[in-house]
Amino acid sequence: MSCCTSHAPEDLDPLGDAILKRIAAFAKLLRDHDFIVGLRESADAARIAAEIGVERASVLRSAFKALFCSRASDWQAFDALFESFWLGKGMKRVLKVAGAAPGSTRPTVSSPAGGTGQGEASELGEETTGTADGEADEGPEAKNAGASRLEVSATTDFRKIADPVELERAHAAAERLARMMRARLTRRKRARLKGRRIDLRATMRRNVATGGIPISLRFRQRKEKPLRLVMLLDASGSMQLYTAVFTRFIHGVLDSFHEAEAFVFHTRLAHVSAAMKEKNATRALERMSLLSQGVGGGTRIGECLATFNQWHAKRVLNSRSCVMILSDGYDTGDLDVLAREVKQLRRRCRRIVWLNPMIGWDGYQPEARAMQLAMPYLDLFAPAHNLESLAALGPYLARV
């Protein structure tokens, strides 16, 4: 298939301007999600659509997937983007794409606009509805649809965000939240320093020349040991609706905290700190996925904690360490091992925080046997199902 663009106007004319603009909008959506898509790929996609026809969605999906996907991460993300753009599946919002065909009723997606609102909730953006040509329909049903506005706020459960665009905004907001948490801890530390105690002996020695008049004060210097966060993320199949958001949150923590370590576990434990300290979030996630092969399988929390205690705890833990476990507490391994290893971990760190996204579900009770065995050794058992619950960690960590 030729990629030459000089003959594109003649070759692509049968599609019509409307389809061409939709393909261009789809290519832009892929670029916004870090796909490597240029003019040649867009021209080839238009030729494929001319030969196959946009009505044959399954065949078009396979052809576009082979054309646009050049990495494993592209291959994994493509289906959701294709279905939301071309089929309208999993969509919560209908936005106008510049140049869409007038009167089109098929949902389309545009990349997030540059403007943002105030606070963490508004940073996620809003969901709106409207007609394809940007003009409001005068019918009563269209007025009601146009008036409805659904905002993905700080209280929205991550598992209920189906739109890929909104989910990406939630990921980015979680990462920004981690950086804001570090800023709050720094401000609290500075506030404590204002209440320093005067060192009387040092002050008297300093002011001998002035007859003992305390003109120049000396203060007791308190050595502040920085908080060290050690995060263990459950990446098993039962956590897959939350893993992506938590990963971006961990990426923000490692990028902001001077002393932080990250591990991913499922049936085995993987140390991913080096990968997650990559500045580019997309490359960091790709490196992490390579290190933690087997993500999405079962969970052996006890055995993974045993690996951590034996091979990593001595190196990464100190008297100011807070171990943060992000897991739903479902363990398919030996529960006796879990109880023993949590108890040993408790002796080696300052705090153990267990964040369970299921706490935010209506009627949830920690009935899982693994969760009940771990509870006596936890300092904090808290939800982590939305941005609001993650933000609540800041004040707690400031007191550690």
- What is the average per-residue pLDDT within 173-187? 73
58: three-class secondary structure by DSSP = helix
| φ/ψ (deg, to 5) at 126 | -120, 160
pLDDT digits (tens, 9 = 90+) for 336-377: 999 999 999 999 999 999 999 999 888 888 888 999 999 999
227: three-class secondary structure by DSSP = coil
- What is the average per-residue pLDDT within 313-336? 93
Give the Cα separation of 305 and 338 in Å (integer): 7
What is the set of domains in the chain, with CATH numbers? Answer: 8-110+120-151 (no CATH), 225-399 (3.40.50.410)
At 348, the amino acid letter reads R
pLDDT digits (tens, 9 = 90+) for 1-16: 444 444 444 444 444 5
Give the Cα separation of 186 and 243 in Å (integer): 28
Give the Cα separation of 294 and 282 in Å (integer): 19
Cβ density class 212-244: b for 16+ within 10 Å, e for less: eeeeeebeeeeeeeebbbbbbbbbbebbeebbb
Q: Given a cut of 70, is residue 55 above it in pLDDT?
A: no
Give the Cα separation of 368 and 392 in Å (integer): 25
Indicate left, alpha or beta for 16 from its phi (over 0: left) and psi (-120 to 50: alpha).
left
Q: Given a cut of 90, is residue 182 above it in pLDDT?
A: no
**Under 8 Å CB-to-CB from 78, ≥6 apart: which residues?**
30, 64, 65, 68, 69
Q: Given a cut of 80, is residue 74 above it in pLDDT?
A: yes
Half-sphere exposure of 156 (CA within 13 A, CB side): 26
Check residues 27 and 197 and name the one with the higher pLDDT.
Answer: 27
pLDDT digits (tens, 9 = 90+) for 192-237: 545 567 777 888 888 888 877 777 877 776 666 678 999 999 988 8
20: three-class secondary structure by DSSP = helix
Check residues 360 and 285 and name the one with the higher pLDDT.
Answer: 360
Give the Cα separation of 13 and 19 in Å (integer): 10
Average pLDDT over the chain, rounded to whole? 75
Q: Given a cut of 50, is residue 145 above it in pLDDT?
A: no
197: three-class secondary structure by DSSP = coil
Q: To the nearest 5 percent, what fractions of the chain are helix, strand and coil?
A: 55, 10, 40
Element holding 232 (H helix, E strand): strand 228-234
* Percent share of the chain, pLDDT over 70: 72
